[in-house]
Amino acid sequence: MIACLVFPSLAGCGAGHAGSTEALADVDGDHGGGLGGSPGSGSGAGTGAGAVGCDGLAVKLQAALDAAIDAQRLPGAAAAVDLGGCSFRGAAGMADIETKTPVKPGDLFRAGSITKTFISTLVLMLRAEGGLSLEDGVSRYVKGVPGGEQITIRQILNHTSGLFNYTESHDFLSAAEADPTRVWTPEELIAFSAAEAPYFEPGRDFEYSNTNYIVAGLIVEAVSGKPVVELLHTRILEPAGLVHTYLDGAEPAVPGLVRGYGSYDGELVDTTSAVDPSSAWTSGGLVSNTEDLTTFYVRLLDGGLLGPAELAEMTSGVGALSADAREYGLGLARRSSPVGTTYGHGGSIWGFVSASYYAVERGAGIAVLINHEDGDAKRIVDDLSRILKMP
């Protein structure tokens, strides 16, 4: 059970245990979101959605979100859609089942591996300034990485390093179960990976590994001489106006985190505090909301954070992450959707699932956050995308 509580993306976690009907019987939508010229305003301003109008589109998007949490039997979810002059901020279900507190559009969720895009962006910023080369061996900056002389920073960012995924280590999972409140250092997490054989020689294949982005976080700190959380704020969060995002376990929390859940033996279990957030750090420790995530990916892919050369590096894919992801670049997945090719990332961490993508040619940004680790956020992204595709 602890393996599923810690990182539910592991094979076999929770998929066979549906939440009880009774536990979810009181779940209904909080329709406090809106779609208009300003986020959440509910006004009809803006013409980016076409003939249907912003208000009409908001109704359809909210209905799709309501239907999705019913179909997946989720406690709750929040979603954001930006399209032209229209901005939808919606929510459905419960932020806390025990207190029957509804999810609000601006509520905070654990974002999981969406963190990886933020960290890759920092690395590419340092590269643009000449602080590092993507072809540098990681041992130049981080000690204790097996084969670090042969593994390049590029291979860390695009998951071709071959490093064993520490979240699949039985020793790590046993230690987390023994002491859920334990605060982890990045070096300790890398050591769990180093104790296992690599998947393959560097550059020979593609294998997603959270260890890569723990190493990436240490590289950022080694090159900059500053804590990664400081650079997140000064280089990304503050310039992009992301005031609801923080790296959990590395800085004070921002109020507003909803409760996260898993389903075990037909019952909902609150897994919000199952493991200390330091266990995810720069591989998946961000907390955010749909407003911030949509803004981040739009800003990033429109060239507001990186120059053309770095953005080209980031969007150049090397391998398939899953059946629905065509390619994985440097902390960024290229994925097909009903509104065309999108770039972004998904995430899965105890109690939460996330997905945020931007269709560059369509100019459509979509983010979905779920407070149940068995939820399918990408499926809801597609549900909302189909609404945008309608005439």
pTM check: above 0.85: yes
Helices (H) and strands (E) in the chain, counts: 13, 14
Query: 315 and 246 in contact (C-beta within 8 Å)?
Result: no
Give the whole-angstrom CA distance, residue 185 versus residue 250. Answer: 11
83 - beta bridge partners?
86, 364
30 half-sphere exposure, CB direction, 13 A CA radius: 21
Q: Please give the helix or strand (H or E) that residue 90 lies within, else none.
A: strand 86-96
Question: Which domains are assigned to the chain?
Answer: 2-18+106-359 (3.40.710.10), 27-96 (no CATH)
Structure tokens, 149: 């002389």
Per residue, the 3-state secondary structure of 28-40, as one string, reads: CCCCCCEEECCCC
- What sign has the CA pseudo-torsion 358, 362, 363, 365? negative
**Would you give per-residue pLDDT tens digits along the chain (391 residues)?**
444 444 544 333 433 333 222 222 222 223 234 444 333 333 333 334 444 578 899 999 999 999 999 999 999 999 999 998 899 999 999 999 999 999 999 999 999 999 999 999 999 999 999 999 999 999 999 999 999 999 999 999 999 999 999 999 999 999 999 999 999 999 999 999 999 999 999 999 999 999 999 999 999 999 999 999 999 999 999 999 999 999 999 999 999 999 999 999 889 999 999 999 999 999 999 999 999 999 999 999 999 999 999 999 999 987 655 555 568 999 999 998 899 999 999 999 999 999 999 999 889 999 999 999 999 999 999 999 999 986 5
